[in-house]
Structure 1
């Protein structure tokens, strides 16, 4: 009968621990996420949706901007998974590379803008806690994580665009050569 007592104590203990974690989130990161999200949407309203759309259309014309500025804005403004809809500004032949860039940025964005991909927040916080326990600055980690993410999305976008062009040419994929 001891196992019943042990099971009862540990079963409810699991929920007590979950409740403590939840309260930590509610009093810690959740208010920060709400304020960051409100700030981002306020900036969008001040700038105007039409201006933002024009800036994204401008960025889509240049490879450097297409695989840095576009994915960053997409993830910050629309968050994951809606960020991928920014691909509508691109011709079909560039959409795979944009998607690759955007999906690669939803991880490092959590370091400075955790609201953009809350699902990855726990991964980043796990890494950050380890860095903090080792005696290093979490702020430095966040900035480096974000900056390395930008380099990675640029490289992935360029490589994926080249691969897409090669495969389209090899397979004579006229659908990728044409319009949207």
Structure 2
């Protein structure tokens, strides 16, 4: 009968641990997410949606901005998965590259702006927890993730645009 008692304790223990983790999120990161999201939407309202749209159209004209600033703005302003709708501002032949650029930035943005892609938050928090236990700063990690993410999305955007051009010529 010892195994039944062990199973009962550990089975309910799994749910107790899940409840504790939920409360940690509810009292820790969730209020921060709500405030960041509110700030972002308030900023759009203050600036004006028309001006924001005009600025995004401008960024779509230049490759450097199209594969750096434009994906950053789309993720920060609309979050995942709505960020993909910024693809309407780029030409049809540039859409695969914009999508590739945007998707490659969904994880790095989470470190500094957790509301932007909440699905990736658990990955980052797992890495950050390991660093914290090892005695390292998570702030430095967040900034490095963000900066490397910008470089990676630029490279992927430019490369995918060239591949798309090549494939379109073959057709």
SS at match of 2:61: coil
Q: After superposition, where does 1:34-73 map in structure 2 within 5 Å?
A: 34-73=34-73
Q: CA offset at residue 2 of structure 1?
A: 2.1
Q: Structure 1 segments of 4 or more deviating over 2 A?
A: none
Report the equivalent of 2:84. 84
Unaligned 5+ segments in structure 2 are none
**Separation of aligned partners in 1, 2:46 and 2:151:** 29
**Separation of aligned partners in 1, 2:11 and 2:144:** 41
**Separation of aligned partners in 2, 1:130 and 1:22:** 19
**Separation of aligned partners in 1, 2:108 and 2:135:** 21
Q: After superposition, where does 1:1-180 map in structure 2 within 5 Å?
A: 1-171=1-171
**Separation of aligned partners in 2, 1:49 and 1:115:** 20
Deviation per residue, 1:19-70 (Å, 9 max, x gap)? 0000000110000100010111111111111101000000000000000011
TM-score, normalised to structure 2's length? 0.98
Q: How many pairs were matched up?
A: 171
**Separation of aligned partners in 2, 1:10 and 1:111:** 33
| Larger displacement relative to structure 2 (131-140 or 21-30) | 131-140
**Separation of aligned partners in 2, 1:28 and 1:90:** 38
Deviation per residue, 1:91-110 (Å, 9 max, x gap)? 11000000001111110000
| Larger displacement relative to structure 2 (12-21 or 131-140) | 131-140
Deviation per residue, 1:111-143 (Å, 9 max, x gap)? 100000111001111111122222221111111
SS at match of 2:15: helix
SS at match of 1:106: coil
**Separation of aligned partners in 2, 1:94 and 1:16:** 49
Unaligned 5+ segments in structure 1 are 172-180
TM-score, normalised to structure 1's length? 0.93
**Separation of aligned partners in 2, 1:131 and 1:7:** 33
